[in-house]
Structures are given as structure tokens and as C-alpha cells.
Amino acid sequence: MKDKLAELREMRAKAKLGGGQSRIDDQHAKGKLTARERLDLLLDSGTFQELGRLATHNQSDFGMAEKKFPGDGVVTGFGKIDGRRVAVYAQDFTILGGSFSEVQSHKVCKIMELAMESGIPVIGLLDSGGARIQEGVRSLAAYGELFVRNVMASGVIPQISVQMGPCAGGAVYSPALTDFIVMVRKTSYMFITGPDVIRAVTGEQVDFDTLGGAAAHNVNSGVAHFAADDELAACRLVKELLAYLPQNNSEDPPRVTPYDDPARQDASLDHLVPEDSSQPYDMRQVISSVFDRGSFLEVHAHYARNALVGLARLDGFPVGVVANQPMHLAGVLDIDSSDKIARFVRFCDAFNLPIITLVDTPGYMPGVAQEHGGIIRHGAKVIYAYCEATVPKISVVVRKAMGGAYIAMSSKQMRTDLAYAWPSAEIAVMGPEGAINILYREELRKSADPATRRRELLQDYVDRFHNPYSAADMGQIDEIIEPSSTRLRLINALEVLRSKVTSNPAKKHGVMPV
Ligand code: HXC
């Protein structure tokens, strides 16, 4: 037995070295940590329980008999983050570039299945060249096994992917099926295939960073939700994110001990919205004032900046925040911001996070590029997501709520529970200029003094619609509130709605515009 124990210890120690010391040195030289070092950063100390440490592949062709490494390029198991259970896997680039094999798939799928059964989040730390080329169709099928589990787990347990190296093929498609993607600046890349293959196939010359770096996917494609400066920051972000989320879809998100006065009023909100409604202001100021101090964790911060989405707390309870941002493109709803909002609303609904919507949008973005790009289809996602969501929904019209965007952005007809408005709200089918041009074109053409008549008509329109009173009169707005009291109103409303029960008609699933 003594010998057997020594043998086991030796094998376990070898497994700890992954692809060997020189590969570990290479990894460090690239500014990256090893899979085990990453897990140490992520998990509460001493909580990691590893599974499958000694698993290896059985392949002998392509010289693979000499390339057997215990663990086969992924470290899997369970641990705790801030005392809460999580399932984790970390790919090991030092072993065959972290390439995904049949054995990797068995290991990752095993922890995913246990995580689903026990209702605990799954976190993947990815650093992989994708399907292991030497395994052919077996590694492709292995990815298929992972994808189907990603999809089955979607909306049941939170799934977070952290990209920590060059990730290709399945190492980007699996994350794309999860809830959040965090990328590490300068060392992580995501692409379906790398610059070499692109050069061969399309002739395009592109470097790793331009093709698939953190900026490419946080700013341009919207594939990633967060960019972290380094691996430590990425792990911290995952912990911060998890603190807002329930363990699974049958739990409520965890409340933290309240630390901010629920009745706190911020008088500056009463003067934040400029008199001139074409002037911008920063919706972030509203968010940081209304929600618990410092609690806003912005998601997709660099993508489609005309919308803001993120997690925050009200009196310690986590909520999802959706807002238009007048600082960018006047807060218009375009293709990208529609995608951003719709996805986030669906996430919140899946995981029991009440949705607070702050509205200031001149409408859906007009233009040929938007129409041909499918603004109809993408814009419809916002309507679909809000209508379908059964979590508590509260909206506050801060300023403009024009046209279709008024309806889409959590109007009462989207099954919003409570609709508030600030006195600065403007709710109309369209802005004054456009409306007057359509309604009074003939009259203005015939008028002896068109400029004066135009001014009169504009003033009349503004008097009617540049306030929330006719909407309140018709019951479309439940209450017009003083901006400085917004925090308390939301906290009180959420207290009422906390036990809300509603459902959708029985169906297999709807056909969401995608
Ligand atoms: C087997 C792989 C591999 C792979 C990398 N390696 N990718 N081995 N299968 N897919 C090995 C390399 O041979 C090398 O081994 C080691 O990992 C490190 O790789 P390098 O190329 O030296 O590293 P680097 O220069 O940092 O480049 C990393 C990389 C590049 C960008 C990931 O390796 C690459 O382009 N790999 C292929 C990416 C790809 O096109 N994958 C698509 C898979 S298809 P040695 O022993 O020489 O050091 C797929 C389908 C999924 O995933 C289905 C989707 C729907």
C-alpha cells in the first residue's frame, strides 16, 4: 500500500505540471498563468475538489502516444466563491494548446451535469486552440456534447466564460452559448479561426488583436461582455458578477446587508435634465444616484453605448438596470443597442432579477443602413423580451419616450407592472419638427407667414406632448414622481412586487426574432 500511495502521489504531482516546466515557463513568458494558478485566484482557498486529474487520451496515431499528459489539457472540479458552490473548468494551454479532446469533453460535461443537478453555476476558464486536430471527428463530436449541455443549462444555472488565451473554434462557440464572456486585455483572443487560416482562405492580413482581441469583441462585435486588464482582475470580476446572481433559476438573487439609506434623496436629480431637450446629460448619473451606492456593475459597457445595461442593488436586493444613454447618439435604439437590451432583459428574466428601465430615447434609428441591416428584426427583440419577461418590471420615463421606442422600452403594454415618469418626460409618436412637417405641410405651404405659423404649431405640440401629463391622464403612466424621490419609489415598489406571480401561456417556446 505504501508503494501504491507513493505512486499515486507521484502521478498527481506530475499532473500538476501539465505539459511540463518549459511549457509553464512559456505560458508565464506570455503573461499568462497556468490553469491551476488561475483556479487558485478564482476559488476560496482550499475549496477546490478536482475530478479526472489522471485522465488521458487513448490515441496513438499522429505521434500522440508520446503526447499523453494526465488531465489531458483541462482541470475540472468544484469549489467555492465567497462561500457559494461553483463548478469550474480551466483549460491548460501547456498541454497540446489546451485543444479540446474527447477526454476533455467527458470531464467538462461531467461537472456540467452535476452542476445542473445540484443547481450551481459553471465557470469556464478558456485557453484553447479549439477542437484537437489529431482526433478528427471525435473532437468535433466532443464539442457537440459540450454545446448541447451549454444549451440545456442555459437559463437553469448561470454560465460564465473567461477567455484567458488565444481561443479558437469551439473554444469561442461554447462561450457564445453561455451568459457572460469576460476577456483579458492583451492576452486573450477569440476567433472561429486564426490569422494564418484567414490569410490562406481570404487573403486578408490581420493580427491577433485586431481580429479577435478584447477591444474587437467588447467594442465592435459585442461577443464579449467585459474586458479585464489582467487575469487577476478577470477573476475578481467573476466573483463580483456572481454576487448578484442566484445559484440557479429556482432561487432568488442573494440580498446583501443594506448599506445605503433607502430614503436617501439626491436633490441634484431635480436639475439634471436640461431645459433644452436636445441637450444631452449622463444617464449614469441617474443610475449612480438612484441605486445603492457603488452597486452598478455595467455589462457590455463598451458596446452600443447608446444603451446602458447592468446589475445593481436597491436596498441590498439585486436588480437588472436597462437605460438609454442620451450621451451617445441621443440614446437612440439601433440594431446593436436593441440586441444588447433584449439579451440582458432575457437574462434577468431567466434568473429572477427584477428589471428597472430608465427611458430617454428619441426612437428607433432611421436610415437605410439600419433598415437594410434589419432594425425591424433586431428592434422587435426588445419588444419580445420585455413582453415575455415575468419578473417585476418598473419603468421610469426620464425624458424622451418617442414612437415605437416608447412602447418597446417597458411601456405598460409590455406587461410592465409600474410606469413612472419624471416631470421632464416627453411622450409622443415623434418629435415636434417631424410631426409638424407631416401634419401641417399643406397649411404651412399656403401660409402668408410660414415661419410664425410653424413656431405656433411647434409650441402647441410641445405644450401637449413635452410633459407626461396626458400619458398620466390616460393611465399610461401610473405616477409622475419627483426625480429626487426615485430611489425610494423604486424600493417601495419592489417591496410590493417581490411576491409577484405571473406566467406565460403554455408552449414549447416562442419564436423570438433573432
Ligand atoms: C491540436 C493544437 C491546436 C489544435 C494549437 N495546438 N491548436 N493542437 N489541435 N486545435 C497546439 C500547437 O500545435 C502547439 O503545439 C501548441 O498547441 C501551441 O500552439 P501554437 O500555435 O504554438 O500557439 P500560438 O502561436 O499561441 O497560437 C495559438 C492558436 C493557434 C492561435 C490557438 O495554435 C491556432 O491557430 N490553432 C488552431 C486554431 C483553429 O483553427 N482551431 C479550430 C478548431 S475547429 P506544439 O507541440 O507544436 O507546441 C473547432 C470546431 C468546433 O474548434 C466547432 C465549432 C462549431
Local confidence pLDDT in tens for the 514 residues of the chain: 778 899 988 888 888 898 999 999 999 999 999 999 999 999 999 999 999 998 999 888 888 888 999 999 999 999 999 999 999 999 999 999 999 999 999 999 999 999 999 999 999 999 999 999 999 999 999 999 999 999 999 999 999 999 999 999 999 999 999 999 999 999 999 999 999 999 999 999 999 999 999 999 999 999 999 999 999 999 999 999 999 999 999 999 999 999 999 999 999 999 999 989 899 999 999 999 999 999 999 999 999 999 999 999 999 999 999 999 999 999 999 999 999 999 999 999 999 999 999 999 999 999 999 999 999 999 999 999 999 999 999 999 999 999 999 999 999 999 999 999 999 999 988 888 889 999 999 999 999 999 999 999 999 998 888 889 989 888 899 999 999 999 999 999 999 999 999 999 999 999 999 9
- Centre of ligand 1 from the C-alpha of residue 126, in Å: 13
From the CB of 129, is ligand 1 less than 6 Å away? yes
CB 422 within 8 A of CB 273: yes
- Centre of ligand 1 from the C-alpha of residue 128, in Å: 7
Q: Ligand 1: which atom is nearest the Cα of residue 147?
A: 55
CB 87 within 8 A of CB 121: yes
Residue 2, pLDDT score: 76
420 and 454 housed in the same domain: no
Can you name the residues that pair with 160 across neighbouring β-strands? 123, 180
- Centre of ligand 1 from the C-alpha of residue 59, in Å: 18
CA 241 to mean position of chain CA atoms: 10
From the CB of 142, is ligand 1 less than 6 Å away? no
215 and 319 housed in the same domain: no
Is 447 inside a domain boundary?
Answer: yes
Cell 430617454 sits at which residue?
Answer: 360
185 and 230 housed in the same domain: yes
Is 359 inside a domain boundary?
Answer: yes
Residue 171 buriedness (CB in 10 A; 0-12 / 13-18 / 19+): buried
CA 43 to mean position of chain CA atoms: 22
- Centre of ligand 1 from the C-alpha of residue 166, in Å: 9
From the CB of 130, is ligand 1 less than 6 Å away? yes
Is 339 inside a domain boundary?
Answer: yes
From the CB of 165, is ligand 1 less than 6 Å away? no
192 and 278 housed in the same domain: no
From the CB of 97, is ligand 1 less than 6 Å away? yes
487 and 397 housed in the same domain: yes
Is 253 inside a domain boundary?
Answer: no
Residue among 80, 12, 75, 77 nearest 47 (CA) = 80
335 and 305 housed in the same domain: yes
CATH number of the domain to which 304 belongs: 3.90.226.10
209 and 303 housed in the same domain: no
For ligand 1, atom 35: residue with the closest CA:
194
Mutate to test the pocket of ligand 1, among 99, 101, 102, 108 (most ligand atoms within 8 A of CB): 99
Q: What pTM was computed for the model?
A: 0.95
From the CB of 267, is ligand 1 less than 6 Å away? no
370 and 438 housed in the same domain: no
Cell 505521434 sits at which residue?
Answer: 63
**In terms of residue numbers, what domain contains 441?**
432-465
For ligand 1, atom 25: residue with the closest CA:
166
Is 129 inside a domain boundary?
Answer: yes
From the CB of 172, is ligand 1 less than 6 Å away? no
Active-site amino acid positions = 169-170, 404-405
For ligand 1, atom 19: residue with the closest CA:
97
Is 147 inside a domain boundary?
Answer: yes
How far is 88 from 160, CA to CA, in rounded Å? 10
H/E element holding 387?
Answer: helix 375-388
From the CB of 132, is ligand 1 less than 6 Å away? yes
CB 193 within 8 A of CB 237: no
How far is 419 from 468, CA to CA, in rounded Å? 11
140 and 12 housed in the same domain: yes
Cell 486588464 sits at which residue?
Answer: 229
Is 8 inside a domain boundary?
Answer: yes
341 and 438 housed in the same domain: no
**Number of structural domains found in the chain:** 3
Contacts of 3 (CB under 8 A, 6+ apart): none
CA 466 to mean position of chain CA atoms: 33
Query: What does the angle CA 192 – CA 198 – CA 201 come to, to the nearest 5 degrees?
Result: 115
- The one-letter code for the residue type at 403 is G
Classify 393 as helix, strand or coil: strand
Residue 490, pLDDT score: 98
For ligand 1, atom 15: residue with the closest CA:
96
Classify 370 as helix, strand or coil: helix
For ligand 1, atom 32: residue with the closest CA:
129
For ligand 1, atom 26: residue with the closest CA:
166
φ/ψ of residue 117, rounded to 5: -65, -35
Is 506 inside a domain boundary?
Answer: no
Q: Which three cell numbers stand for residue 158?
A: 448561470
442 and 420 housed in the same domain: no
For ligand 1, atom 42: residue with the closest CA:
169
Q: Which three cell numbers stand for residue 241?
A: 458578477
Q: Which three cell numbers stand for residue 116?
A: 445542473
CB 42 within 8 A of CB 75: no
Q: Ligand 1: which atom is nearest the Cα of residue 98?
A: 17
272 and 233 housed in the same domain: no
Mutate to test the pocket of ligand 1, among 96, 140, 192 (most ligand atoms within 8 A of CB): 96
